[in-house]
Structure 1
Amino acid sequence: MTKDVAMTDDVDVPSAASRRLVQEHARVMAAQVDRHAVTLENLLAILRADRVDDRTARAMAIEVATTSLVQLRMATDEQQSSMLEPVVGAFARLQNDLRPLVRFGGLDIQFVEPPASGRALPSEVAHAARAIVRSVVLAFVDSGEAKRVRIQWDCDGLNLLIGIRDDGAGELTVHDDSLRPVTEHVSALNGDVDVESTLGWGSSLDIRLPLDPPATPEPLSDSAELSGREREVLRLVAEGARNQDIATQLGISANTVKFHVSNLLRKVGARSRGELAALARN
Protein backbone atom coordinates (compact mmCIF):
# COMPACT_ATOMS: atom_id res chain seq x y z
CA MET A 1 0.00 0.00 0.00
CA THR A 2 1.33 3.42 -0.92
CA LYS A 3 2.08 5.45 2.16
CA ASP A 4 2.33 8.92 0.70
CA VAL A 5 -1.17 9.48 -0.72
CA ALA A 6 -2.09 12.99 0.33
CA MET A 7 -5.27 13.72 2.19
CA THR A 8 -6.60 17.23 2.12
CA ASP A 9 -7.98 18.94 5.16
CA ASP A 10 -11.03 20.24 3.32
CA VAL A 11 -14.08 18.20 2.43
CA ASP A 12 -14.75 18.28 -1.29
CA VAL A 13 -17.91 20.11 -2.28
CA PRO A 14 -20.21 18.17 -4.65
CA SER A 15 -20.09 19.36 -8.23
CA ALA A 16 -22.93 21.36 -9.75
CA ALA A 17 -23.98 18.32 -11.80
CA SER A 18 -24.12 16.17 -8.66
CA ARG A 19 -26.21 18.75 -6.82
CA ARG A 20 -28.63 18.96 -9.76
CA LEU A 21 -29.10 15.18 -9.72
CA VAL A 22 -29.86 15.18 -6.00
CA GLN A 23 -32.26 18.09 -6.44
CA GLU A 24 -34.01 16.31 -9.32
CA HIS A 25 -34.46 13.17 -7.21
CA ALA A 26 -35.91 15.26 -4.38
CA ARG A 27 -38.24 17.00 -6.84
CA VAL A 28 -39.58 13.68 -8.20
CA MET A 29 -40.18 12.33 -4.70
CA ALA A 30 -41.95 15.52 -3.65
CA ALA A 31 -44.18 15.33 -6.75
CA GLN A 32 -45.14 11.74 -5.92
CA VAL A 33 -45.99 12.65 -2.33
CA ASP A 34 -48.08 15.57 -3.56
CA ARG A 35 -50.05 13.36 -5.99
CA HIS A 36 -50.81 10.83 -3.26
CA ALA A 37 -51.88 13.62 -0.91
CA VAL A 38 -54.29 15.00 -3.53
CA THR A 39 -55.84 11.55 -4.03
CA LEU A 40 -56.39 11.07 -0.30
CA GLU A 41 -57.84 14.56 0.05
CA ASN A 42 -60.29 13.85 -2.78
CA LEU A 43 -61.37 10.58 -1.18
CA LEU A 44 -61.91 12.25 2.18
CA ALA A 45 -63.89 15.07 0.56
CA ILE A 46 -66.18 12.56 -1.18
CA LEU A 47 -66.75 10.49 1.95
CA ARG A 48 -67.48 13.59 4.06
CA ALA A 49 -69.84 15.24 1.59
CA ASP A 50 -73.33 15.62 3.12
CA ARG A 51 -75.00 16.26 -0.24
CA VAL A 52 -73.86 12.92 -1.74
CA ASP A 53 -75.68 9.71 -0.86
CA ASP A 54 -73.74 6.58 0.09
CA ARG A 55 -74.18 4.87 -3.28
CA THR A 56 -72.98 7.88 -5.24
CA ALA A 57 -70.10 8.51 -2.83
CA ARG A 58 -69.00 4.90 -3.18
CA ALA A 59 -69.03 5.11 -6.99
CA MET A 60 -67.10 8.38 -6.95
CA ALA A 61 -64.54 7.04 -4.47
CA ILE A 62 -64.01 3.92 -6.57
CA GLU A 63 -63.45 6.05 -9.67
CA VAL A 64 -60.90 8.28 -7.91
CA ALA A 65 -59.07 5.30 -6.41
CA THR A 66 -59.05 3.42 -9.73
CA THR A 67 -57.68 6.41 -11.61
CA SER A 68 -55.00 6.91 -8.97
CA LEU A 69 -53.99 3.22 -9.09
CA VAL A 70 -53.69 3.33 -12.89
CA GLN A 71 -51.49 6.42 -12.69
CA LEU A 72 -49.38 4.84 -9.93
CA ARG A 73 -48.84 1.66 -11.95
CA MET A 74 -47.91 3.66 -15.04
CA ALA A 75 -45.40 5.70 -13.02
CA THR A 76 -44.00 2.53 -11.41
CA ASP A 77 -43.60 0.82 -14.78
CA GLU A 78 -41.84 3.88 -16.15
CA GLN A 79 -39.57 4.05 -13.10
CA GLN A 80 -38.74 0.33 -13.25
CA SER A 81 -37.89 0.59 -16.93
CA SER A 82 -35.22 3.15 -16.04
CA MET A 83 -34.15 2.14 -12.53
CA LEU A 84 -30.67 3.47 -13.08
CA GLU A 85 -28.92 6.06 -10.98
CA PRO A 86 -26.10 8.14 -12.47
CA VAL A 87 -22.91 7.27 -10.63
CA VAL A 88 -22.21 10.93 -9.78
CA GLY A 89 -25.73 11.30 -8.39
CA ALA A 90 -25.35 8.18 -6.25
CA PHE A 91 -22.01 9.50 -4.97
CA ALA A 92 -23.50 12.90 -4.20
CA ARG A 93 -26.19 11.21 -2.09
CA LEU A 94 -23.45 9.36 -0.23
CA GLN A 95 -21.75 12.67 0.52
CA ASN A 96 -24.98 14.03 1.95
CA ASP A 97 -25.42 10.87 4.04
CA LEU A 98 -21.97 11.28 5.57
CA ARG A 99 -22.07 15.02 6.08
CA PRO A 100 -23.22 14.77 9.75
CA LEU A 101 -20.11 12.69 10.52
CA VAL A 102 -17.98 15.39 8.97
CA ARG A 103 -19.69 18.08 10.98
CA PHE A 104 -20.21 16.38 14.33
CA GLY A 105 -18.09 13.22 14.30
CA GLY A 106 -14.69 14.87 14.18
CA LEU A 107 -13.82 12.96 11.03
CA ASP A 108 -12.12 14.53 8.02
CA ILE A 109 -13.54 12.82 4.92
CA GLN A 110 -12.08 13.39 1.48
CA PHE A 111 -14.41 12.49 -1.39
CA VAL A 112 -12.94 11.66 -4.80
CA GLU A 113 -15.83 11.88 -7.26
CA PRO A 114 -16.23 9.28 -9.99
CA PRO A 115 -16.07 10.31 -13.67
CA ALA A 116 -19.36 11.80 -14.81
CA SER A 117 -19.22 9.60 -17.90
CA GLY A 118 -19.27 6.38 -15.88
CA ARG A 119 -22.01 3.81 -16.43
CA ALA A 120 -25.23 4.45 -14.51
CA LEU A 121 -25.75 2.18 -11.51
CA PRO A 122 -28.74 -0.10 -10.98
CA SER A 123 -30.64 1.40 -8.07
CA GLU A 124 -30.10 -1.64 -5.84
CA VAL A 125 -26.33 -1.44 -6.41
CA ALA A 126 -26.28 2.30 -5.70
CA HIS A 127 -28.28 1.81 -2.50
CA ALA A 128 -26.08 -1.08 -1.36
CA ALA A 129 -22.88 0.83 -2.13
CA ARG A 130 -23.94 3.76 0.02
CA ALA A 131 -24.93 1.44 2.88
CA ILE A 132 -21.62 -0.42 2.66
CA VAL A 133 -19.54 2.76 2.70
CA ARG A 134 -21.52 4.13 5.64
CA SER A 135 -20.89 0.89 7.57
CA VAL A 136 -17.16 1.07 6.93
CA VAL A 137 -16.92 4.72 7.95
CA LEU A 138 -18.94 4.10 11.12
CA ALA A 139 -16.59 1.21 11.94
CA PHE A 140 -13.69 3.65 11.63
CA VAL A 141 -15.45 6.13 13.89
CA ASP A 142 -16.24 3.48 16.52
CA SER A 143 -12.61 2.38 16.59
CA GLY A 144 -11.58 5.90 17.60
CA GLU A 145 -8.32 5.48 15.71
CA ALA A 146 -9.00 7.15 12.37
CA LYS A 147 -9.07 10.91 11.93
CA ARG A 148 -9.12 11.03 8.14
CA VAL A 149 -10.89 8.89 5.57
CA ARG A 150 -10.58 8.96 1.80
CA ILE A 151 -13.49 7.61 -0.26
CA GLN A 152 -13.24 7.02 -3.99
CA TRP A 153 -15.69 5.51 -6.48
CA ASP A 154 -14.98 4.40 -10.02
CA CYS A 155 -16.69 2.24 -12.61
CA ASP A 156 -15.02 -0.09 -15.12
CA GLY A 157 -18.23 -0.74 -17.05
CA LEU A 158 -18.92 -4.04 -15.30
CA ASN A 159 -18.29 -3.22 -11.64
CA LEU A 160 -18.56 -0.37 -9.19
CA LEU A 161 -15.12 -0.01 -7.62
CA ILE A 162 -15.02 1.47 -4.13
CA GLY A 163 -11.83 2.51 -2.40
CA ILE A 164 -11.81 3.51 1.27
CA ARG A 165 -8.67 4.43 3.17
CA ASP A 166 -8.13 5.63 6.72
CA ASP A 167 -5.16 6.88 8.72
CA GLY A 168 -5.78 4.64 11.73
CA ALA A 169 -3.57 2.11 13.45
CA GLY A 170 -3.28 -0.09 10.37
CA GLU A 171 -4.38 -3.26 12.13
CA LEU A 172 -7.60 -3.93 10.21
CA THR A 173 -8.10 -7.29 8.48
CA VAL A 174 -10.88 -8.69 6.33
CA HIS A 175 -11.78 -10.99 9.25
CA ASP A 176 -12.24 -8.13 11.71
CA ASP A 177 -15.60 -8.32 13.52
CA SER A 178 -16.36 -4.69 12.66
CA LEU A 179 -16.23 -5.54 8.95
CA ARG A 180 -18.34 -8.68 9.15
CA PRO A 181 -21.60 -6.94 8.13
CA VAL A 182 -19.74 -5.34 5.21
CA THR A 183 -18.18 -8.56 3.94
CA GLU A 184 -21.52 -10.37 4.24
CA HIS A 185 -23.31 -7.58 2.37
CA VAL A 186 -20.72 -7.53 -0.41
CA SER A 187 -20.72 -11.32 -0.66
CA ALA A 188 -24.51 -11.33 -1.02
CA LEU A 189 -24.06 -9.07 -4.06
CA ASN A 190 -21.45 -11.44 -5.58
CA GLY A 191 -18.73 -8.87 -4.96
CA ASP A 192 -15.46 -9.06 -3.07
CA VAL A 193 -13.52 -7.13 -0.45
CA ASP A 194 -9.76 -6.77 -0.15
CA VAL A 195 -8.13 -5.20 2.90
CA GLU A 196 -4.52 -4.03 3.11
CA SER A 197 -3.10 -2.58 6.30
CA THR A 198 0.26 -1.10 7.18
CA LEU A 199 0.97 -0.78 10.90
CA GLY A 200 0.94 2.87 11.88
CA TRP A 201 -0.13 4.04 8.42
CA GLY A 202 -3.75 2.97 8.20
CA SER A 203 -5.87 0.53 6.26
CA SER A 204 -7.20 0.43 2.72
CA LEU A 205 -10.35 -1.37 1.58
CA ASP A 206 -11.00 -2.16 -2.07
CA ILE A 207 -14.55 -3.28 -2.76
CA ARG A 208 -15.94 -4.54 -6.07
CA LEU A 209 -19.68 -4.67 -6.70
CA PRO A 210 -20.90 -6.19 -10.00
CA LEU A 211 -23.40 -3.97 -11.81
CA ASP A 212 -25.21 -6.89 -13.43
CA PRO A 213 -26.71 -9.92 -11.65
CA PRO A 214 -24.96 -13.22 -12.31
CA ALA A 215 -26.31 -15.12 -15.25
CA THR A 216 -28.76 -17.84 -14.28
CA PRO A 217 -27.25 -21.16 -15.29
CA GLU A 218 -29.21 -22.91 -17.99
CA PRO A 219 -30.75 -26.21 -16.84
CA LEU A 220 -28.53 -29.13 -17.77
CA SER A 221 -31.35 -30.86 -19.61
CA ASP A 222 -31.75 -27.75 -21.80
CA SER A 223 -28.09 -26.87 -22.32
CA ALA A 224 -26.96 -30.34 -23.44
CA GLU A 225 -28.17 -32.05 -26.61
CA LEU A 226 -29.95 -35.03 -25.08
CA SER A 227 -32.35 -37.52 -26.56
CA GLY A 228 -35.74 -38.08 -24.99
CA ARG A 229 -34.57 -41.33 -23.38
CA GLU A 230 -31.42 -39.67 -22.03
CA ARG A 231 -33.54 -36.96 -20.41
CA GLU A 232 -35.61 -39.62 -18.68
CA VAL A 233 -32.51 -41.43 -17.45
CA LEU A 234 -31.00 -38.11 -16.28
CA ARG A 235 -34.13 -37.27 -14.30
CA LEU A 236 -34.06 -40.61 -12.51
CA VAL A 237 -30.31 -40.39 -11.85
CA ALA A 238 -30.90 -36.97 -10.26
CA GLU A 239 -33.57 -38.56 -8.05
CA GLY A 240 -31.00 -41.10 -6.84
CA ALA A 241 -32.40 -44.16 -8.62
CA ARG A 242 -30.06 -47.10 -9.27
CA ASN A 243 -29.53 -48.59 -12.72
CA GLN A 244 -31.82 -51.55 -12.07
CA ASP A 245 -34.57 -49.26 -10.74
CA ILE A 246 -34.23 -47.05 -13.81
CA ALA A 247 -34.37 -50.09 -16.08
CA THR A 248 -37.54 -51.33 -14.38
CA GLN A 249 -39.28 -47.94 -14.56
CA LEU A 250 -38.39 -47.35 -18.21
CA GLY A 251 -38.83 -50.94 -19.36
CA ILE A 252 -35.27 -51.29 -20.67
CA SER A 253 -32.30 -53.45 -19.68
CA ALA A 254 -29.74 -52.47 -17.05
CA ASN A 255 -27.02 -52.57 -19.73
CA THR A 256 -28.99 -50.03 -21.77
CA VAL A 257 -29.20 -47.79 -18.72
CA LYS A 258 -25.41 -48.05 -18.31
CA PHE A 259 -25.01 -47.07 -21.95
CA HIS A 260 -27.22 -43.97 -21.49
CA VAL A 261 -25.42 -42.98 -18.28
CA SER A 262 -22.07 -43.31 -20.04
CA ASN A 263 -23.30 -41.05 -22.86
CA LEU A 264 -24.61 -38.52 -20.32
CA LEU A 265 -21.26 -38.40 -18.53
CA ARG A 266 -19.50 -37.76 -21.83
CA LYS A 267 -21.93 -35.10 -23.08
CA VAL A 268 -21.96 -32.98 -19.94
CA GLY A 269 -18.32 -33.53 -18.96
CA ALA A 270 -19.12 -35.09 -15.59
CA ARG A 271 -16.54 -37.37 -14.00
CA SER A 272 -18.88 -39.46 -11.87
CA ARG A 273 -22.50 -40.44 -11.45
CA GLY A 274 -22.70 -38.25 -8.33
CA GLU A 275 -21.40 -35.22 -10.21
CA LEU A 276 -23.91 -35.90 -12.98
CA ALA A 277 -26.74 -36.02 -10.46
CA ALA A 278 -25.55 -32.78 -8.82
CA LEU A 279 -25.39 -30.99 -12.19
CA ALA A 280 -28.86 -32.23 -13.08
CA ARG A 281 -30.33 -30.90 -9.83
CA ASN A 282 -28.87 -27.36 -10.27
Structure 2
Amino acid sequence: MVDPVPLAEPATRALVVQHARLVAERADQHALTLESLLAVLRSTRVDDRAARVEAAEIASAALVDLRTSNDEERNALVEPVSRAFLRLRNDLRPLVRFGAIDIQFVEPPATGRALPGEVAHAARAIVRTAVLAHVDRGTAERVRVQWDCDGRNLLVEIRDDGDGSLDVHDDTVRPIAERVSALDGDFRVQSTDGWGSTISIVMPLDPPALGDRIEDAEALTPRERDVLRLVVAGAPNADVAAQLGITVNTAKYHVANLLRKYGARSRAELSALAR
Protein backbone atom coordinates (compact mmCIF):
# COMPACT_ATOMS: atom_id res chain seq x y z
CA MET A 1 0.00 0.00 0.00
CA VAL A 2 1.27 3.48 -0.88
CA ASP A 3 0.58 5.97 1.87
CA PRO A 4 -0.98 9.29 0.85
CA VAL A 5 1.45 12.18 0.97
CA PRO A 6 0.23 15.75 1.45
CA LEU A 7 0.88 18.10 -1.45
CA ALA A 8 3.82 20.36 -0.77
CA GLU A 9 2.72 23.71 -2.17
CA PRO A 10 -0.51 25.47 -1.12
CA ALA A 11 -0.90 26.80 -4.67
CA THR A 12 -0.74 23.26 -6.06
CA ARG A 13 -3.24 22.05 -3.49
CA ALA A 14 -5.59 24.87 -4.44
CA LEU A 15 -5.39 23.92 -8.13
CA VAL A 16 -6.08 20.26 -7.39
CA VAL A 17 -9.06 21.14 -5.19
CA GLN A 18 -10.39 23.60 -7.75
CA HIS A 19 -10.16 21.04 -10.56
CA ALA A 20 -11.87 18.33 -8.52
CA ARG A 21 -14.63 20.73 -7.51
CA LEU A 22 -15.26 21.88 -11.07
CA VAL A 23 -15.44 18.28 -12.28
CA ALA A 24 -17.90 17.40 -9.49
CA GLU A 25 -20.05 20.45 -10.16
CA ARG A 26 -20.12 19.73 -13.90
CA ALA A 27 -21.22 16.15 -13.21
CA ASP A 28 -23.94 17.51 -10.95
CA GLN A 29 -25.11 19.94 -13.63
CA HIS A 30 -25.11 17.25 -16.32
CA ALA A 31 -27.18 14.95 -14.10
CA LEU A 32 -29.72 17.73 -13.62
CA THR A 33 -29.83 18.43 -17.37
CA LEU A 34 -30.42 14.76 -18.19
CA GLU A 35 -33.11 14.46 -15.51
CA SER A 36 -34.78 17.58 -16.92
CA LEU A 37 -34.73 16.15 -20.44
CA LEU A 38 -36.29 12.92 -19.21
CA ALA A 39 -38.95 14.87 -17.31
CA VAL A 40 -39.93 16.74 -20.48
CA LEU A 41 -39.95 13.66 -22.70
CA ARG A 42 -42.02 11.68 -20.17
CA SER A 43 -44.44 14.50 -19.41
CA THR A 44 -48.10 14.07 -20.27
CA ARG A 45 -48.67 17.83 -20.07
CA VAL A 46 -47.31 18.53 -23.56
CA ASP A 47 -47.60 16.83 -26.94
CA ASP A 48 -44.65 15.30 -28.78
CA ARG A 49 -43.84 18.42 -30.79
CA ALA A 50 -43.85 20.72 -27.76
CA ALA A 51 -41.75 18.20 -25.83
CA ARG A 52 -39.13 18.14 -28.59
CA VAL A 53 -39.01 21.94 -28.65
CA GLU A 54 -38.63 22.16 -24.87
CA ALA A 55 -35.98 19.42 -24.82
CA ALA A 56 -34.03 21.22 -27.53
CA GLU A 57 -34.15 24.44 -25.50
CA ILE A 58 -32.89 22.67 -22.38
CA ALA A 59 -30.04 21.04 -24.30
CA SER A 60 -29.13 24.32 -26.01
CA ALA A 61 -29.10 26.19 -22.70
CA ALA A 62 -26.88 23.52 -21.19
CA LEU A 63 -24.44 23.76 -24.11
CA VAL A 64 -24.31 27.55 -23.83
CA ASP A 65 -23.64 27.27 -20.11
CA LEU A 66 -20.90 24.71 -20.73
CA ARG A 67 -19.18 26.85 -23.35
CA THR A 68 -19.44 30.18 -21.53
CA SER A 69 -18.80 29.13 -17.95
CA ASN A 70 -15.47 30.28 -16.54
CA ASP A 71 -13.50 30.23 -13.33
CA GLU A 72 -14.05 33.91 -12.67
CA GLU A 73 -17.82 33.44 -12.44
CA ARG A 74 -17.59 30.20 -10.50
CA ASN A 75 -15.14 31.64 -7.99
CA ALA A 76 -16.76 35.05 -7.53
CA LEU A 77 -15.84 36.51 -4.16
CA VAL A 78 -19.44 37.24 -3.21
CA GLU A 79 -22.89 36.74 -4.69
CA PRO A 80 -26.11 38.42 -3.47
CA VAL A 81 -28.26 35.80 -1.77
CA SER A 82 -31.28 36.72 -3.91
CA ARG A 83 -29.30 36.22 -7.13
CA ALA A 84 -27.84 32.93 -5.91
CA PHE A 85 -31.36 31.70 -5.16
CA LEU A 86 -32.63 32.89 -8.56
CA ARG A 87 -29.89 30.88 -10.28
CA LEU A 88 -31.01 27.84 -8.31
CA ARG A 89 -34.60 28.34 -9.45
CA ASN A 90 -33.44 28.64 -13.05
CA ASP A 91 -31.46 25.40 -12.70
CA LEU A 92 -34.56 23.56 -11.51
CA ARG A 93 -37.06 25.28 -13.83
CA PRO A 94 -37.57 22.29 -16.20
CA LEU A 95 -38.23 19.92 -13.30
CA VAL A 96 -40.68 22.42 -11.84
CA ARG A 97 -42.58 22.63 -15.14
CA PHE A 98 -42.49 19.03 -16.28
CA GLY A 99 -41.29 16.80 -13.44
CA ALA A 100 -43.40 14.56 -11.23
CA ILE A 101 -42.40 16.55 -8.12
CA ASP A 102 -43.92 19.90 -7.25
CA ILE A 103 -41.04 22.13 -6.09
CA GLN A 104 -41.98 25.14 -3.98
CA PHE A 105 -39.48 27.93 -3.34
CA VAL A 106 -39.42 30.28 -0.34
CA GLU A 107 -37.39 33.35 -1.27
CA PRO A 108 -34.60 34.54 1.05
CA PRO A 109 -34.70 38.18 2.24
CA ALA A 110 -33.46 40.45 -0.55
CA THR A 111 -31.48 42.40 2.06
CA GLY A 112 -29.64 39.34 3.34
CA ARG A 113 -25.85 39.35 3.50
CA ALA A 114 -24.09 38.48 0.24
CA LEU A 115 -22.84 34.90 0.09
CA PRO A 116 -19.19 33.97 -0.43
CA GLY A 117 -18.83 32.26 -3.79
CA GLU A 118 -17.99 28.88 -2.24
CA VAL A 119 -21.08 28.98 -0.01
CA ALA A 120 -23.38 30.01 -2.88
CA HIS A 121 -22.13 27.20 -5.15
CA ALA A 122 -22.28 24.64 -2.35
CA ALA A 123 -25.83 25.64 -1.39
CA ARG A 124 -27.09 25.31 -4.95
CA ALA A 125 -25.35 21.95 -5.35
CA ILE A 126 -26.87 20.73 -2.08
CA VAL A 127 -30.42 21.58 -3.16
CA ARG A 128 -29.90 20.06 -6.62
CA THR A 129 -28.57 16.87 -5.03
CA ALA A 130 -31.52 16.69 -2.62
CA VAL A 131 -34.10 17.24 -5.37
CA LEU A 132 -32.53 14.62 -7.63
CA ALA A 133 -32.42 12.21 -4.68
CA HIS A 134 -36.17 12.70 -4.19
CA VAL A 135 -36.76 12.11 -7.90
CA ASP A 136 -34.81 8.84 -7.66
CA ARG A 137 -36.59 7.70 -4.48
CA GLY A 138 -40.00 8.42 -5.98
CA THR A 139 -41.77 8.67 -2.60
CA ALA A 140 -42.39 12.44 -2.50
CA GLU A 141 -44.85 14.52 -4.48
CA ARG A 142 -43.85 17.93 -3.08
CA VAL A 143 -40.54 19.44 -2.02
CA ARG A 144 -40.25 22.82 -0.31
CA VAL A 145 -36.93 24.68 -0.59
CA GLN A 146 -36.23 27.61 1.71
CA TRP A 147 -33.14 29.80 2.18
CA ASP A 148 -32.61 32.39 4.89
CA CYS A 149 -29.72 34.33 6.43
CA ASP A 150 -29.14 35.24 10.05
CA GLY A 151 -26.17 37.50 9.27
CA ARG A 152 -23.56 34.85 10.07
CA ASN A 153 -24.97 31.72 8.41
CA LEU A 154 -26.93 30.63 5.39
CA LEU A 155 -29.90 28.56 6.56
CA VAL A 156 -31.18 25.96 4.10
CA GLU A 157 -34.29 23.86 4.66
CA ILE A 158 -35.54 21.16 2.29
CA ARG A 159 -38.85 19.61 3.30
CA ASP A 160 -40.69 16.81 1.51
CA ASP A 161 -43.97 14.92 1.89
CA GLY A 162 -42.43 11.48 1.29
CA ASP A 163 -42.61 8.34 3.36
CA GLY A 164 -40.51 9.78 6.19
CA SER A 165 -37.79 7.14 5.92
CA LEU A 166 -34.88 9.52 5.30
CA ASP A 167 -32.13 9.78 7.93
CA VAL A 168 -28.61 11.20 8.26
CA HIS A 169 -27.06 7.83 7.38
CA ASP A 170 -28.94 7.46 4.09
CA ASP A 171 -26.55 7.17 1.14
CA THR A 172 -28.73 9.50 -0.92
CA VAL A 173 -27.85 12.40 1.39
CA ARG A 174 -24.21 11.41 1.95
CA PRO A 175 -22.87 13.94 -0.62
CA ILE A 176 -24.84 16.67 1.16
CA ALA A 177 -23.50 15.70 4.57
CA GLU A 178 -19.94 15.66 3.24
CA ARG A 179 -20.25 19.12 1.66
CA VAL A 180 -21.73 20.62 4.82
CA SER A 181 -19.14 18.97 7.05
CA ALA A 182 -16.27 20.28 4.94
CA LEU A 183 -17.62 23.83 5.32
CA ASP A 184 -17.85 23.41 9.11
CA GLY A 185 -21.63 23.54 8.85
CA ASP A 186 -24.39 21.70 10.67
CA PHE A 187 -26.53 19.05 8.94
CA ARG A 188 -29.65 17.47 10.39
CA VAL A 189 -32.49 15.29 9.14
CA GLN A 190 -35.82 14.99 10.92
CA SER A 191 -38.31 12.42 9.66
CA THR A 192 -41.76 11.29 10.69
CA ASP A 193 -42.95 7.95 9.36
CA GLY A 194 -45.57 8.57 6.71
CA TRP A 195 -45.32 12.37 6.99
CA GLY A 196 -42.09 13.25 5.24
CA SER A 197 -38.63 14.52 6.11
CA THR A 198 -36.92 17.84 6.67
CA ILE A 199 -33.26 18.48 5.92
CA SER A 200 -31.92 21.44 7.90
CA ILE A 201 -28.53 22.94 7.11
CA VAL A 202 -26.56 25.77 8.68
CA MET A 203 -23.60 26.95 6.59
CA PRO A 204 -21.20 29.59 7.99
CA LEU A 205 -20.75 32.57 5.68
CA ASP A 206 -17.08 32.70 6.65
CA PRO A 207 -15.91 29.09 6.04
CA PRO A 208 -12.37 28.01 6.87
CA ALA A 209 -9.75 28.72 4.24
CA LEU A 210 -8.92 25.91 1.85
CA GLY A 211 -5.50 24.38 1.71
CA ASP A 212 -4.48 25.26 5.26
CA ARG A 213 -6.00 22.24 6.95
CA ILE A 214 -4.17 19.35 5.32
CA GLU A 215 -2.47 17.24 7.95
CA ASP A 216 0.82 15.39 7.53
CA ALA A 217 0.43 11.77 6.49
CA GLU A 218 1.71 10.76 9.92
CA ALA A 219 -1.37 12.40 11.47
CA LEU A 220 -3.60 9.73 9.92
CA THR A 221 -4.40 6.69 12.00
CA PRO A 222 -3.75 3.25 10.46
CA ARG A 223 -7.50 2.79 10.01
CA GLU A 224 -7.82 6.18 8.29
CA ARG A 225 -5.02 5.19 5.91
CA ASP A 226 -6.91 2.00 5.02
CA VAL A 227 -10.14 3.91 4.48
CA LEU A 228 -8.41 6.56 2.39
CA ARG A 229 -6.78 3.92 0.18
CA LEU A 230 -10.21 2.44 -0.60
CA VAL A 231 -11.84 5.85 -1.13
CA VAL A 232 -9.10 6.76 -3.62
CA ALA A 233 -9.81 3.45 -5.38
CA GLY A 234 -13.45 4.54 -5.75
CA ALA A 235 -15.04 2.27 -3.16
CA PRO A 236 -18.38 3.46 -1.68
CA ASN A 237 -18.89 3.34 2.08
CA ALA A 238 -20.57 -0.07 1.97
CA ASP A 239 -17.55 -1.61 0.20
CA VAL A 240 -15.13 0.15 2.56
CA ALA A 241 -17.02 -1.32 5.52
CA ALA A 242 -17.13 -4.82 4.01
CA GLN A 243 -13.43 -4.90 3.14
CA LEU A 244 -12.28 -3.56 6.50
CA GLY A 245 -14.76 -5.48 8.64
CA ILE A 246 -16.38 -2.38 10.13
CA THR A 247 -19.91 -0.98 10.07
CA VAL A 248 -21.07 1.41 7.35
CA ASN A 249 -21.57 4.14 9.94
CA THR A 250 -17.98 3.69 11.14
CA ALA A 251 -16.78 3.98 7.55
CA LYS A 252 -18.76 7.21 7.16
CA TYR A 253 -17.21 8.51 10.39
CA HIS A 254 -13.68 7.88 9.09
CA VAL A 255 -14.49 9.48 5.72
CA ALA A 256 -15.83 12.56 7.49
CA ASN A 257 -12.61 12.81 9.51
CA LEU A 258 -10.52 12.52 6.34
CA LEU A 259 -12.54 15.24 4.62
CA ARG A 260 -11.95 17.51 7.60
CA LYS A 261 -8.23 16.76 7.82
CA TYR A 262 -7.65 17.32 4.12
CA GLY A 263 -9.97 20.32 3.91
CA ALA A 264 -11.85 18.58 1.09
CA ARG A 265 -15.51 19.17 0.33
CA SER A 266 -16.22 15.85 -1.38
CA ARG A 267 -14.80 12.38 -1.92
CA ALA A 268 -13.62 13.49 -5.37
CA GLU A 269 -11.56 16.31 -3.86
CA LEU A 270 -10.25 13.99 -1.15
CA SER A 271 -9.13 11.47 -3.77
CA ALA A 272 -7.48 14.17 -5.88
CA LEU A 273 -5.56 15.55 -2.90
CA ALA A 274 -4.54 12.12 -1.64
CA ARG A 275 -3.20 11.15 -5.06
- In the superposition, the TM-score normalised over structure 1's length comes to 0.48
- In the superposition, the TM-score normalised over structure 2's length comes to 0.49
User: Relative contact order, CA 8 A, sep 6+: which one is greater?
Assistant: 2
* Higher Cα Rg, which structure: 1
